[in-house]
């Protein structure tokens, strides 16, 4: 019995005490290790944060109705806005913008893919010109006042490529969009064909190069001219049976497509030159918008040329262009009766239009063009033969 009691009261070996004390510490360390493992497992590598080949901004940007373009080398933003289904330049006198170019740009941006991230560090963003205050281009897109995204376009990443990122993601990608494809001047987005939209096939042109001298040109429908020619040919054939009128009709000049009223005797309209003038008018492109308020130096009250035109697109409407040379500068100013803007024409286009409108180019005098041979010359020529 005593032996049994003594066995029960025998204290544990001294070596077992440290082990018992270490167990809670080991459990704690194991918990910390498991927590760290969980954190590392959940942590995302910034270079693999996005799934490759996913849209950079998404298809929604293709429907944007408001675009702001900023550039580090331009003090003023370019603003493109859609009003009444027409793209305009609100900070550029609300002039019409090139809708096709804008749609193409938006489609390009909507189609950009992320690819594999190239960098995320601040140093890399600075190297690629993609920091918030230093970039090649920044496009802010919205629709109905709601943001669709912001795109930063940086330095070149190769042919037709740039480094890019979004405002919501600092990861840098190489995308199929060059910064030079996004102009940073409002005039680069101007619809330079704006004047052509109101003119179809011209049917009448009144040319004024002098306040006291007008030339009114009228175009005759080609079908009507053909019918008139056929009728004249039939009449000539009948006359030929009576006395050789067929040869006279065959040698008659074709009916002119352009005619002018009140021409002096012997003067004729040069249809070829009038057609060339009509083409110059229909193909004219503006270079810039100068404003909506006239300035004295533009000399609109002393024009070099005034054209009043009608076309088959709006037969009852008359479109008037006033073209003047400013007191300084190598350009011309054109004002159309259809628009509030004063347009700038480059010097070459303005001069070509004025030269083509000159009366000497549009009207010829056959008698003056072919001077009579002096009688003594005829006699000399007869003696030689």
Considering only residues 191 and 121, tell me which one the structure prediction assigns the higher pLDDT: 191
Write the CB contacts of 75 (distance below 8 Å, at least 6 apart in sequence).
Answer: none
pLDDT in tens, 142-165: 999 999 999 999 999 999 999 999
pLDDT in tens, 104-117: 999 999 999 988 89
For residue 53, the model assigns a pLDDT of: 76
Q: Per the structure block, which two tokens stand in for 340?
A: 């509030």
Highest mean pLDDT: which range of 111-115, 197-201, 207-211, 300-304:
300-304
- Statement: residue 196 has pLDDT above 80: yes
CATH of domain 195-220+256-368: 2.60.40
Q: Mean pLDDT lowest for which of 59-73, 245-259, 289-303, 369-383?
A: 369-383
Q: Where in the chain is the domain with CATH 2.60.40?
A: 195-220+256-368
Grade residue 197 by pLDDT with cuts at 50, 70 and 90.
confident
For residue 18, the model assigns a pLDDT of: 61
Separation of CA 369 from chain center: 46
For residue 265, the model assigns a pLDDT of: 85
CB 219 within 8 A of CB 277: no
Closest CA to 118 of 151, 154, 159: 154
pLDDT in tens, 235-265: 444 444 444 444 444 444 455 589 998 888 8
How far is it, in rounded angstroms, from Cα 182 to Cα 103?
Answer: 12
Closest CA to 116 of 171, 168, 178: 171
Closest CA to 361 of 263, 269, 284: 269
Write the CB contacts of 128 (distance below 8 Å, at least 6 apart in sequence).
Answer: 119, 154, 155, 163, 172
CB 68 within 8 A of CB 77: yes
**Alpha helices, H only, the chain:** 2-8, 16-42, 99-110, 122-127, 186-189, 222-243, 245-250, 271-282, 347-356, 359-362, 366-369, 375-384
How far is it, in rounded angstroms, from Cα 144 to Cα 57?
Answer: 17
| pTM attached to this predicted model | 0.74
pLDDT in tens, 165-174: 999 988 999 9
- Statement: residue 372 has pLDDT above 60: no
Write the CB contacts of 286 (distance below 8 Å, at least 6 apart in sequence).
Answer: 190, 192, 194, 195, 334, 343, 344, 345
Between strands 78-83 and 95-96, the pairing is: unpaired
Give the position of tokens 């330079």: 192
Separation of CA 221 from chain center: 34
Q: Of all residues in the chain, what percent carry a pLDDT higher than 90?
A: 60
Considering only residues 29 and 120, tell me which one the structure prediction assigns the higher pLDDT: 120
pLDDT in tens, 35-92: 776 655 555 444 444 566 789 999 999 999 999 999 988 888 999 999 999 999 999 9
CB 136 within 8 A of CB 153: yes
Burial class (CB in 10 A: 0-12, 13-18, 19+), 261: exposed
Grade residue 8 by pLDDT with cuts at 50, 70 and 90.
low
Considering only residues 297 and 8, tell me which one the structure prediction assigns the higher pLDDT: 297
């Amino acid at each position: 019995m005593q032996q049994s009691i003594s066995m029960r009261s025998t204290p544990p070996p001294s070596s077992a005490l440290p082990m018992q004390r270490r167990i809670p510490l080991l459990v704690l360390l194991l918990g910390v290790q498991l927590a760290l493992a969980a954190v590392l497992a959940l942590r995302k590598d910034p270079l693999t944060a996005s799934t490759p080949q996913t849209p950079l901004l998404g298809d929604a940007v293709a429907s944007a109705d408001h675009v702001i373009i900023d550039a580090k080398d331009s003090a003023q933003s370019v603003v493109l806005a859609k009003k009444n289904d027409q793209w305009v330049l609100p900070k550029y006198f609300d002039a019409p913008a090139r809708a096709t170019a804008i749609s193409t740009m938006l489609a390009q941006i909507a189609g950009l893919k992320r690819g594999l991230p190239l960098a995320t560090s601040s140093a890399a963003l600075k190297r690629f010109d993609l920091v918030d205050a230093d970039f090649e281009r920044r496009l802010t897109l919205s629709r109905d006042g709601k943001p669709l995204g912001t795109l930063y376009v940086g330095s070149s990443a190769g042919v037709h490529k740039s480094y890019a990122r979004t405002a919501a993601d600092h990861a840098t990608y190489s995308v199929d969009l060059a910064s030079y494809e996004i102009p940073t001047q409002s005039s680069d987005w101007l619809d330079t064909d704006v004047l052509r939209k109101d003119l179809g096939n011209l049917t009448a042109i009144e040319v004024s190069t002098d306040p006291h001298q007008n030339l009114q040109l009228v175009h005759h429908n080609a079908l009507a001219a053909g019918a008139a020619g056929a009728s004249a040919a039939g009449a000539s054939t009948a006359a030929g049976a009576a006395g050789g009128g067929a040869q006279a009709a065959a040698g008659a000049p074709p009916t002119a497509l352009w005619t002018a009223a009140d021409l002096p005797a012997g003067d004729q309209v040069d249809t070829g030159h009038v057609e060339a003038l009509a083409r110059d008018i229909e193909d004219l492109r503006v270079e810039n918008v100068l404003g909506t308020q006239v300035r004295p130096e533009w000399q609109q009250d002393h024009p070099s040329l005034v054209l009043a035109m009608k076309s088959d697109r709006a037969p009852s409407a008359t479109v008037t262009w006033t073209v003047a040379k400013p007191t300084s500068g190598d350009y011309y100013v054109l004002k159309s009766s259809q628009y509030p803007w004063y347009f700038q024409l480059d010097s070459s286009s303005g001069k070509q239009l004025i030269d083509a409108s000159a009366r000497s180019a549009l009207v010829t005098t056959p008698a003056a063009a072919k001077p009579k041979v002096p009688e003594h010359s005829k006699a000399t020529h007869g003696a030689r033969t």
